[in-house]
Structure formats: structure tokens, C-alpha cells
Structure 1
Amino acid sequence: MNFKLLLVIFVVSSLFISSAQNTYVPVYLMLPLDFINNDGNLNNESELDDWFGKIKNDAGADGVMADVWWGIVESSETNYNWAGYDQLVSLLQKHDLKLQCVMSFHQCGTNTGDTCYITLPQFVLDVGNSNPDIYYTDKNGHRDQEYLSLGVDTETVFNGRSAVDMYNDFMSAFASHFADHLGNTIVEVQVGLGPAGEMRYPAYQLQENLWKFPGVGSFQCFDKYMKASLQESADKAGHSEWNKIPDVEYNSYPYQTSFFTDDKSDNYASQYGDWFLSWYSQQLISHGDRILAKANAIFSGKVQIAAKISGVHWWYKTSNHAAECTTGYFNTDQNDGYKAPAQLFKKYDVLFDFTCLEMSDSAQPSWADCGPQELVQQTLSDANAQGIKYGGENALKVYDTSSFGRIEDVARQGINGFTYLRLTSDLIDNDGNWNNFKGFVWNMHNL
């Protein structure tokens, strides 16, 4: 065969192989939490216009993520104000950018990085004034108003509607209003299932300085609805004496608690401990199931549905994984706490969204037994085992190439998208930060 022909075949084959190995991972940027004001209109529309042009034309990013705030949109019962989101969609269409929407059924203002204060709708707060058990409650009676307790998922205490009814009505109204944009401009709907939009209990509460890192957190099932469920479950198990909730303080370390101490007879690994953690985590799975079933009926076949799991990485390297357990993830050395969420997400073809992809073990305090890298690997493995899509986020603001490199390393293992926290002036207006980010986007598009 002619040598030149062989050379051409070799070059073409090499290009084909290289192209086949290339992986394109789309990159989105979270909008500022206060991109919309409490009246429901866009803040700083001209600035967003400039930023969108820059992230599209200079960085080549794929789109943005926006919280669709329940407390702003449904300011009065079943009356929905989509004006600011109409403005946002028009602006994104102008720049040919896609939109990930978060059905944000939670409060903003008390978590890490929160820059504004948005409550639950006032008509919900009014119910809470007379019936505070609608909120997650700790052993000291503190009511967390970030998100409604899963105990009222099916309780029709909101003027004839249950919590799930309200979430369903909100998502249905959203889908109806934006029907022409679903699947083109709006490509993903992430369903909020707990505080900060994550499927979890508010075990590590920052409000009123209740919790500080790396405390194990505290169980959140002392409202009357969840206590009734616990009693019923204990009776069905034939152990009515198990109707008790472990006494765990927010800022304790595992070995400072009786429940998470390895050599105690009634600890997490005992028959009672295993039963309680199974009940506590299953309540969370059932909560997710109820809401995702509604989301699936509304959005399936139109957009990708997603749900978010929190990156609780402190005490990961202990046998008890205490901080994960209080958060609702029964992830001890004897139990895989992320298999059940992955199985739930498979049921409704939901993308498994996870945080802290940028973190390294070495950057965490060794005495807190943190394992963010192992945690990412575990969740990715569980998602892969179920054959479902996996998306990632960074948990904290990062601009350095080392953090971006760790995200890229995870992406090479097969993820379906990455959402960067967050689009701010610190990113856009700092040349060093911006150049690092542009390089990151290019790398994610050419893995």
C-alpha cells in the first residue's frame, strides 16, 4: 500500500479515536441568591445582561442555575408571580444560554453563603404561628423554619392542602406558565426536598449559632407528627420501648455521645440503633418519593428532573459517620447510606446532584475525620450502580486551578454536568479568577 495513503489512514484514525474519547461536560453557573427581589422582579438586569454575554462569549459556559423561590412567587395562596422569571428567560434566550431551575421550597438566609433573606410564604408562616409542629423540631423544642417538616407532607393543615399538595400546585403552575420553554431554554428542574434545597434534615443548623463545624448535629424528629410516626413504627416492630430519640447535642463529637460511642450497649450499632436510623432515614426517602412522584408526573419527558444530596463529609472516616446519620443518611461502616437515594432517583429517572467535588481530604482538619473525596466516590459509585445520571457542584467558592483540577478528575469518571457556585463580581471582575474559570470550562468541554 502507498506510504502516503497509510499515513492519511493513520492520521484520520487517530483523529477519530481522539474525538471518540473526548467528553463534553456542560458547565452552568449558579446565579446570585438575590438575582430577584422580594417583589418578584430582576435585580440589576443590565449587569446580568453583561455577565451573560461574558460567560457565553468569553468563557463558553452552557447556562445558569436559578432558584425559583416559593416565598417570592407564591406571596399569596395559589397566586403565582412569574414576572422576574419571565425576564430571566428572555435574557437567557438573548444570549443562547440554558437554564437549570431549582424549585426552592426552603428559606434563604441562614445557611453558609446566604446573601439575602427570603422566608417561606407568609400564608405558611401564619399556619406555623398557631401550629409550630409544621416545622422540624429538635430535642430542645427549637423550631427550624427553613423548610416544612416531612411530618406534614400529607397533613391538610394549610387551608385544606398538605405540604405535598402545595409543592405539586407550585410545580404544576410553573410547568404550565413556562410550557413553551421546557426542553429548550429550561433544560433541568431540580426539586427542592429539604433545607438549602437538599434532601436532608436540618441537623446542622447555623441559625442562632446552634451548630458549629464539626459537630455531629442533632436529630430533627421531635414535632408531634414525626413523634407519632415513631411511636407507630416502634409498636409495629414489637418494641414499644424503642419510642425514643437518641440524645445527641449539635456540637458534640461522636465519642462524646452515648449513641455514637462504639462500646455502648444501646448505640448506633445495636438492634435499637439500627432500627432507629433505618426509620429516620426511611422517612426522608419516603418524603422524597412523595414529591418526586408529583414532579415526575409534571415534568417527565419535558426536562431532566434532578435532586440534591448534601456533602456531609465530617466524621466520614469514623465507623459511625455520625454527622451523616443525624442528617438522614444512614451511612455507617455497616450500611451504605446513599444506595437508597440512588434507588429512589432511578425510580423516577432523576439526576443525582452532589456537592463538594472541589474538596480534598488534606485541606480538612485531621481531627474531624473528614473524607470529602471518599464521599464523592461513594455517591458516584452508587449512582453508577443504579445506572442514573450524576451531576456535581462545588460546596464553597473556589477560583484556584487545584480545586478546578479535582473537579475535572471526578468529571473524567463520568458525570453529566457541573454547576459552579457562583456567578459573582468576584469571579467576573477579577482577571486571575476569570482566566482560571475559563480554562476550567474549556477543560470540562474537552475531557
Structure 2
Amino acid sequence: MVKKADLKLNAVMSFHACGANVGDYFRVTLPKWVLEAAEKDPDLFFTDQYGYRNPECISLWADNAKTLDGRTPLESYRDFMQSFRDEIEARGLMDVVEEISVGCGPCGELRYPAYPENKISPNSSQWQFPGIGEFQCYDQRALGNLARAGSEAGHIEWGGAGPHDAGGYNNLPHETGFFRAQHGSWDSEYGQFFLSWYSGELVEHGDRMLRCARSVFEEECGDCPTIAIKCAGVHWWYNSRSHAAELTAGYFNTRSGDNVPERDGYEPIVKICGRHGARLNFTCTEMRDIEHPFFSRCGPEGLLRQIRAAAARYGVKVAGENALCRFDQDAYDKIITNCRGEGSDRELWRQGALLPPMASFTFLRLSKELFEDDNFNSFVHFVARMANETRALGGNDEDKFVNGNEVLEALLNSEILSNLAEVRDETSSGFVAAQFSDL
């Protein structure tokens, strides 16, 4: 159907459960054979300090453990991707697949499940915004790895467990000894050791996943799709000193402390994307700082800019998404502004001083609400604006100007959308509504 319509498909290799987080409209657990393996080997899952094992995805410390009926998780991921590739090639559809987004953790994002809503296990400790979350390094493989790292650093005592003063899921930074702005443990030799280890393990997992995907989609096929991974938009506490919520999620991104310098926690991830020629998918494209409560120190605009600047320095393309399903003009204006980028000076782009245009933008999501009259009308005009206002970035200035009113009229007169009410009733929530590639 996609090929017949002369469209392209972005495929997401999902190695995580669905149903536990924001925007999850339905439930899909990990495969039964994975859950059965976890009954025999509970350390297959990420574990917090209370012993809660998160069934959203397999722990990165088990990547190379032969715990899935004699296979490793990495081997299973590769088999899944190879099966997808073989099926697409057999049907002559490889040219339809434009991008392969490789799931690297919960929600498909390269992060730890540090802030689970735990809809699947309602009796467990539930995170709520703007809680700082928790470190997820208490399965036995993680603890063994940490112990070795402590020994190699010459501090065996640092390798026993995670920080003892990091609080719980719903604590605020100033309520903990680890994350408080002044004299917090993050701003110490021990804090630097632990956070370097914790974030480094995540980056290495991302590197393994990208190598795995490349071995399938680049080394063994001709016309290869773009490979991509996704980072999470952990924007709460971004404008605080310790960036607590980012730290528990695995992004060692802090301001300068009394004892340690400022640290760009996203540069290592951008570097592995550059090394593998991968795109970086990121969210928060529609958000403004002022839309969030002041006390939670949210900084989606600064966070997005930091990541885009780092990507520009290393020649990595960034693809955007909206974090929340919104149909208001403020959100649309912000999306278009971000997608356009800044200026046309490529040298300033390479320096990270100005931001290049985004490589693509995905609008989330295809829902019943989208087809309500006002929402659908505004969405059609938004798509027309994206076509018109980003045309110069895509290449051909002679492309025809898109008139939103004409498009809307044509759609409403078509067989498919002749009755929006019927379309709305038949639409299942949870799908992508539109994608604008290579803006």
C-alpha cells in the first residue's frame, strides 16, 4: 500500500514493551519466551534499589549473556532485524523503507527505565512528574560490572552498589544528598566515578546496537536505509545544577560544580551516531520552557538546542518529534521554527553556533482527536506550512506553493475523508500521523 501510494516507510525495531508509559494506548508485553527466561534468570531485567525488576526491556548488562534459550539478547535482536530485512527484500520493498530506528531501551529510547509509570505493576513504586527517578543498576550483572569498575579505579568501596543518598523516584533534587545543588555527591570524585560508569555503560550499549543494525542493513544489503537511534527528552530539572532526572536516565549532563567542570552528556551519544553514520531522533520539538511549572526547572528548549548543536559539530542529522499530542497554533509555530533551523552558514553549523535544519519531523499521533473538525483543519494547514516554509531547505525553490484551503477542500471531498465522523470512529490511537523527511 505504501509503495503504491509512492510514499516511504520508517520502520521501528521495537525491543521493548508497550503499555507502561505516557502515550501508550494499548499493551504489548515482551515476548512470552523472554518473560519465561526472566523467571529463570530475574537479572535479565533492570532492577532498582528496592528490587523492583522492570519488564519493559532487557537489561543492557545482559546484552551478551546466553540467557535466552542459549542465545544472547544481541543475537536475538539481530535475528529479528535480519528476518525483517529478508522479508522486505523478498517482496521487493527495500526501496520503500527509508529509515530503520533501532530500539535501545524503554520506549525505544537509549536510556535507563529510571522514571517508569509502572501501569503494568501498579503495586510497585510509581514515578510521577517531576520526580528525579532512580538509578537502575541493581541486577547482579550490573553490580558485578560496577564492582570491577570500582576495583580498577582503585576504590573497591565504590563498587558495592549505587549511591546511598540518591533518594527515590519522586524525590526532588534538594531533598537528596546526591543531587542537591551545593555540596551534592554528584559534585565529588565518587560522584564523577559512578556517573561516568553508569552513562558509559549506556553509550556502549548504544554502540553495540548500532553495530548490530549495521551488520544487518548495511553489510548484507544493497540499497540500505538510514539507521537511527532515539534519545529521551528528559527536560525536567534541566535548568538545575545537577540535572538529576537526566543523570538517573543515564545522561551525564551537568553544569559545573564546585569541584567538577560542566559536562555535555549527549556528546558521547552523538559521537557514536557519527561513527556509524546514524541519525539521532529526538523529541520536545513543540515545547517551550514557559509551558512548564517553574519549580520543576524544565528546559526543553535548551535541551533540544544542546543536542542539535552537538550533532551539528559532528555532522549528525537530527530528526524531530513532538512529545505531546497537540493541535494548537503555538505548538505548530514552534515545530516549524525548529525544523527550519537557523541561517545558511554551514561553518557556523559545524561550530554549533547556529542550528542547521532538522533532517525530518514526525508528527505524533494518528488519533481520533486528530480527526475532530477543528483539529483536522489546523493540521492540514500546518502540513501546508511545513511544505511552504521549509521548501528552501529541501532543495527545489520551484516547488509549487501549497494552499492549505485547497488541500483541505480536496481532502474533504475525497472518498476517504468525505465523513470525518466515520473516520474518527474507525481510527485507532497510537500511530504516526505524518512525517516530513529531508526538509
Does structure 2 conserve the Cα–Cα contact (< 8 Å) formed by 1:219 and 1:327?
Answer: yes
In structure 2, the residue matched to 1:388 is 316
Q: Distance in 2 between matches of 1:127 and 1:364?
A: 41
SS of 1:421's partner is strand
What residue in structure 1 maps to residue 339 of structure 2? Answer: 411
Structure 1 vs Structure 2: percent identity of aligned residues?
42
Q: State the partner residue of 1:249.
A: 168
Work out which of the residue numbers 390, 415, 420 in structure 1 matches 2:363.
420
Counterpart of 1:136 (choices 36, 46, 70) is: 46
List aligned pairs for 1:37-48, cutoff 5 A.
Answer: none
In structure 1, the partner of 2:232 is 310
CA contact (8 A) 1:193 1:200 kept: yes
Give the CA deviation at 1:315: 0.3
- 1:183 positional shift: 4.7
Paired position in structure 2 for 1:146: 56
Instruction: Note the C-alpha offset of 1:302.
Output: 0.6
Task: Specify the code of the residue in structure 2 equivalent to 1:338.
Answer: Y
Distance apart, 1:387 and its partner CA = 0.3
Instruction: Tell me if structure 1 keeps the 8 A contact 2:286–2:334.
Output: yes
TM normalised by structure 2 equals 0.79
- Distance between the aligned counterparts of 1:431 and 1:263, measured in 2? 52
Which residue is equivalent to 1:162? Answer: 72
C-alpha distance in structure 2 between counterparts of 1:248 and 1:171, whole Å: 39
1:212 paired with 2:128, answer yes
**CA distance in 2 between partners of 1:255 and 1:116 (Å):** 36
Whole-angstrom CA distance in 2 between matches of 1:382 and 1:263 = 28
Return the TM-score normalized by structure 1: 0.78
Q: Answer yes or no: is 1:198 the counterpart of 2:109.
A: yes
Tell whether the 8 Å contact from 1:234 to 1:242 is kept in structure 2 after alignment. Answer: yes
**Correspondence 1:239 to 2:155:** yes
**2:254 alignment partner, one of 322, 329, 332:** 332
Pair 1:181–1:260, CA change in 2 (3 A): farther
Kindly provide the CA deviation profile for residues 149-192 of structure 1, in whole angstroms up to 9, marking residues without a partner as x.
Answer: 00100111111111111101111111111125555211111000
Q: Which residue of 2 aligns with 1:342?
A: 270
2:303 to 375, 380, 392: 375
Q: Find the partner of 2:177 among 247, 251, 258.
A: 258
Q: In structure 1, what is the Cα distance between the partners aligned to 2:103 and 2:40?
A: 25
What runs of 5+ residues in structure 2 fail to find an aligned partner? 256-261, 342-356, 391-439
Report what 1:186 is aligned to: 97
Cα distance in 2 for residues equivalent to 1:442 and 1:386: 32
Instruction: Name the amino acid aligned to 2:338.
Output: V
Partner SS state of residue 3, structure 2: helix
- 1:277 aligns to 2:219 (yes or no): no
Query: Which string of whole-angstrom CA distances, capped at 9 and with x for unpartnered residues, describes residues 214-240 of structure 1?
Result: 000000000000000000011011111
User: Residue 382 of structure 2 corresponds to which residue in structure 1?
Assistant: 440
CA distance in 2, matches of 1:377, 1:171: 32
Counterparts of 2:25 and 2:85, CA distance in 1 = 28
Supply the AA of the counterpart residue of 1:172.
Answer: Q
Residue range with higher mean Cα deviation, 405-414 or 296-305 = 296-305
How many angstroms apart in 2 are the aligned matches of 1:318 and 1:405? 27
Q: Which has the higher contact order (CA 8 A, sep 6+)?
A: 1
Change (3 A) 1:181 1:399: farther
Question: SS where residue 111 of structure 1 aligns?
Answer: coil
1:315 partner amino acid: W
- Residue by residue, what CA displacement relative to the aligned partner does 1:71-121 show, whole Å, maximum 9, x if unpaired? xxxxxxxxxxxxxxxxxxxx2223222111110000001111111111111
User: Corresponding residue for 1:288?
Assistant: 206
Q: Deviations over 1:367-418 (max 9, x none)?
A: 0000001111111111111101110001110111110110111111110100
Shift of the alpha carbon at 1:130?
1.6
Amino acid at match of 2:67: V
Where 2:279 maps in the other structure, the secondary structure is strand
